Chains A and B, each alone.
Chain A
C-alpha cells in the first residue's frame, strides 16, 4: 500500500509545484487540468484505501518513510500511520478538495492569479494529507504549520486589498499563539515519553500520567494534564476556539473556494482530528478534558449568537463554522471522540456545500456579499437554491439529514457524560449545545430567507444579470449535496456504534458514553422516527419559525429589537469586543514594549550611556582614525604588513 500512500500525498504536491513554477508556460487550462487530475487521482486512491479498510478488512499500517534526523537518542522520522481514522480523514479531505478544485474553474475564471490559486490549493491538499497521515508529532507539526502557511497565502490571495493582508497576517499570528502552546506540548511529550512516535508515546501514556512537573515551585502538576492542555492550545488556534477564534471570520477575505475547503471543511478541523488522534493521552487527564469541554461549549454557544447579527453572507457561515467546531470540541471533551469525528465529516460536506452555494450566490450577485441587498433569488438560481436548502437543513439537524445524526447523537453523548465530580461542567456544556440548536436554526434560516425568499432588494442593474451559475459551479454543489443529505443515515451506525475506529481511538471504561448509548441504539430509522420526541427537534423548529417570523413575515421586528436593546446588539455587533482587546490591547501593547526597549533600552542606555559614552571619551582617537582612513587599499595593505611584521618580530625576538 505504500505506493498508494505516496501517490496520494505526492500527486497534489507535484501538481502544485508544476502549476506554481511553470504556470505561465502551461497556461490557465494546463494549470487547472494538472491540479484537478492530481487531486482526483489522490481522491480515487483515498477512496480505495477507505474501501479496503471498511470491506476488505485491511489492517492499520504504520510505515516509516525516511529518517529526518537522529540525535541524542531521539529519532525524528517522517512516515505514515494509516488506520481507520486516517483513512476517513483522507477520504473527506481529498473529496472536498476535488470538488473545490472543479468549482474554482468557475469561481476564479477571470482572476489574473488563476495558476497561482490552483498551485496553492493543491499545495494545501498535500499539507493536509501530511498532517492527517503522520505517524509522529514532528510531521504532525510540519503539516500543521504547512496548512497554516497555505491558509496565510490564500487569505491574502488578493494581496492588493488592505483588509485581506490584514486578515492573513492576523490569522497567521493568532495561529502562532496556538502553535506556541502546541510546540511546548510536543516538547513535553518528548520529555516525558522520550519519543515523537505516536505508537511509542501512546504505549508510555501511563508512564506520562504517573509523573509530575513543577511549573511553580511547590505546586506539582500532573504531567499528562500539562501536556494535554498545551497540545489543546494548539488545537484552539487551528480550530478557532475561543478566545483564539478571532482570525476565522476575517479569513473570509480569501476567495470563497478556500473558505469552503480550508476554513470550513478541512484545515480548521485539524485541531479536532489532533485531539481525537491523541485520545490515549487525553483520556488520562480529566482536568484536560474539562478544559476542552468548557472551551468548546463557550465557542459553540457564543459564536453562534454572533452569526445572528452578521450581514455578510460568508461571515454568517463563518460564525456558524466556529459554532460547529465548538460542538465538535464539546464532544471531544465528553470523550465521545467518534461523535466529534462523525460531526467533522458531515460538517465537512454540508459546510463546504453552504460555502460553495454562498459563492455561487456571490458570483450571480457580481461579488455583492451583503444579504440585506439580496432576496428572492430562488427563482433565478434553482440549483443553488435546492442545494443550499439541503445544506441548511443538514446544518440545523433536520431529521434524516447528515447533520441530524451527527448533532443529535453528539448532544446525546454530552447529556450522558455526567462523571463524578464534574457535574457542573457537564451541565454547562449540555445546556450550551442544546440552546445552540435554536441559535443555529435561527441564523441559518435568517440567512436562507433573506437570500432566497422575500423581496428582491438588489438594484436593477444586478437584477438584470441574475442567472444560474455555470456547470463547473453547480456540479460540485450537487455532488456535495448528496453526501450532506444521506451520509448520516448510512454511516452513523458503523462510525459511532460499530466500532469503526477500532484501536485508532481509545476511551477508558469510565468515559465510554458511546458504549453506553449503543445499548439504546435501534438503527437510523429508529432515531429519525423518535426525533420528534426530543427537545432538539423542537428547538430547531422554533429557530426556523423565529427566523421566518422575523425576516419574512414581520421584517420590522428585528429593527425594533435592535433599537430597544442597543447594548446587547452592540456587544454582538462588536463581537464581544474581542478584536478591540487584541488589536488595541495586546498588539498596541506589544508595539509599545518594542518601542520602549528599543528607544530606552538599546539607544538610550546601552548605546547612549555605555557605548557612546566610552566612545566620546576617546573621540579624539576617532578623529585620528579618520585621518588614517585614506580609502586606498595599498595604505591598508601596507599597514597590515607592517603590523604583521611587528607582531612576528616581537614574538620571535623580544618575548
Chain B
C-alpha cells in the first residue's frame, strides 16, 4: 500500500491520536487490571506502529535528490498565507527515524516502573513524539513554531509531574531558558514574514536581507538553538532538568529534544542568514570548543550519575555545532562537508548513546533509588549482564571506534584539522577527557568489591530491560561498523546546504 504522499502526517498525528486515546482509557488504581494492561498495550502498539510506518520513510527516501520529499502542502490560515507544509530531506529524515526508534524503547522502559498516572505518562510521550516529528518535518515557519513550542508542554509535564524532589525549580528553569530563546525566534519569524510575505521557509531562504538584519536574525536564532543544544554558557538548565526528570524524560530530552537545536541551525540559520552565520561562525566555534573542553572538566567532577551524563551530552553536542560552523574556516575544496556530516551523525549517535546511558542509570535508580555514584560500587558482582551493556555504552560515549560515538567525532576532528590545527587539538582532547569522566564513573559504580548491602541484593536485568538495552546496543554497533546507509542519506542534502550557506545573500 502506498501511503507515501501522506506519510509525514500519519507519523505526526498517529501518536498524538494514540496519546489522546490513552487519556480516554485512563488510569486504574490496580496496575494489574485489564484496563491497565490494555492501556499499556495501546501505548506500545501506537509507538511500534509509528516505528513500522516510519520504515517507509527510509525505504522510499531518495538519496539522490536534495529536494524535499514526502511533501504535503495545504492551506492552513489563508489570511496569513500560512500553510500546513511538510517535507523531509537528508537532514530531517534521519532525525525522524531516530524519534520513532527511541519512543517505543521509552515506553517499554517505563512499562511497570511508572506507578503514578501511567496512562497520562504514556500519553505525554506519544503526544511528544508526534510534536517532535512535526518540528522535524514542518516547512512553514509558523507551523514550525507551533510544534516547537507545543513540544515544551508535554516535556514540562513529564518533568513537573513525574520528576524528582526539586522538579519545580528544574521545570521552571527549563521553561524560562527555552522560552526566552523561542520568543526571539518568533520575533525573527515575524520580521522575516514582513520581508517575504509568507511563512514558507523557502521564501525565507530566498528573500534578500541586509547584513544588519542577518546579524540580528542570527542572534535570535542562536539564542533559541543554543539553549536547546545546549551550548556553553546557556547550558545550566540541562543538568538540573535531567536530574529531576524521570528516566523516560531524560532519554527523550537527551536523545531527541537536544537535536532540535542542531537541526534549527541547519534548517534555519545557515540557509536563511548565510552571511550572518559566516560572520558569527568564529563565535560558535569558540563556544563549541569551550563546551568540549570546559564541560569535559566539569563532567569529571560530578557526583551524580545523571548530571555526569548530562554534562557529557553538552560536551558531545559541542562536536555538532563545531562541525556545522567549520565551513567558513576551511580554505580547502573539501572538508566542510565532512564537518557537517560528522555533526549530523554525532546527533543521531548521541541520541542512541545518551539515551542508552540514561536508561542504564534508570535501571540502577529503579532498584536503589539513588543516582549518587558514591552509593554504588561493585555492581558488576551482582549484575553481570547490566555491566556488559553499561561498559559497552560507556565505551561508545568515550568515542570508541566500532561504536557510533566514534563516527561523528572522527569526521569533525578531521574537518577541524583542515580549518585550524588548534581547533582539532582542542576537539581531540575529548579522547582523553571523555574517557576520563566516563570510565571513572564505570570504575566507581561497576567495579570493585560489593560496596554495601543494597548492592549485594541487586537483581540483574529483567527481560524487558534486556530487550531495550539490547536493541540500543545493536543500533550503536551497527552505526559504528557501517555508517554508510546513514551517510548516504545525508550526502546530497548536505552538499546542497553547503552551497546555499556559501552563497551570499547581500
Contacts and interface: CB of A to CB of B under 8 A. Distances in A.
Interface string A589-608: 01101110110011000110
B395 interface: yes
Contact of B334 (A144, A194, A625): A194
A169 interface: yes
B297 A73 contact: no
Contact of A601 (B123, B298, B381, B418): B298
B432 A73 contact: no
A22 interface: no
Contact of A215 (B416, B421, B487): B421
Given A66-B482, A183-B431, A615-B172, A651 B77 contact: yes
B173 A611 contact: yes
Given A146-B401, A165-B447, A176-B431, A611 B341 contact: no
Q: Could you tell me the dominant secondary structure of chain B's interface residues? A: helix
A165 B341 contact: no
Contacts of A607: 236
Interface in A63-110: 66-74
Interface in B115-171: 117, 120, 123, 142, 146, 150, 153, 157, 160-161, 168
A625 B440 CA distance: 40
Interface string B392-434: 0001000011100011001101101110010011001101100
Given A145-B401, A160-B449, A183-B431, A626 B168 contact: yes
A141 interface: yes
Interface stretch (A347-355, A572-580, A629-637): A629-637
Contacts of A622: 168, 172
Interface stretch (A46-54, A185-193, A411-419): A185-193
A494 B239 CA distance: 62
Contact of A160 (B117, B150, B341, B448): B448
Nearest to A21: B388
B80 interface: yes
B23 interface: yes
A173 interface: yes
A72 B421 CA distance: 20
Interface in A622-652: 622, 625-626, 629, 631, 633, 636-637, 640, 647-648, 651-652
Interface in B222-236: 233, 236
Contacts of B157: 633, 636
Contacts of B21: none
Contact of A159 (B82, B299, B448): B448
Give the size range of B's interface with the partner: 35 or more
Contacts of B298: 594, 597-598, 601-602
Interface in B2-60: 23
Contacts of A138: 401, 410
B297 A191 contact: no
A636 B152 CA distance: 12
B294 interface: yes
A180 B429 contact: yes
Contacts of B494: 71-72
Contacts of A601: 294, 298
Given A146-B401, A159-B448, A606-B233, A69 B487 contact: yes
A146 B477 CA distance: 13
10 contacts: A70-B488, A71-B491, A72-B335, A72-B338, A73-B337, A74-B334, A152-B439, A159-B380, A614-B176, A636-B153
The 9 closest A-B pairs by CB, nearest first: A72-B337, A187-B417, A594-B301, A594-B297, A594-B300, A142-B401, A165-B447, A69-B487, A159-B447
Interface of B: 23, 77, 79-80, 82, 117, 120, 123, 142, 146, 150, 153, 157, 160-161, 168, 172-173, 176-177, 233, 236-237, 294, 297-302, 332, 334-338, 341, 378, 380-381, 391, 395, 400-402, 406-407, 410-411, 413-414, 416-418, 421, 424-425, 428-429, 431-432, 435-436, 439-440, 443, 446-449, 481-484, 487-488, 490-491, 494
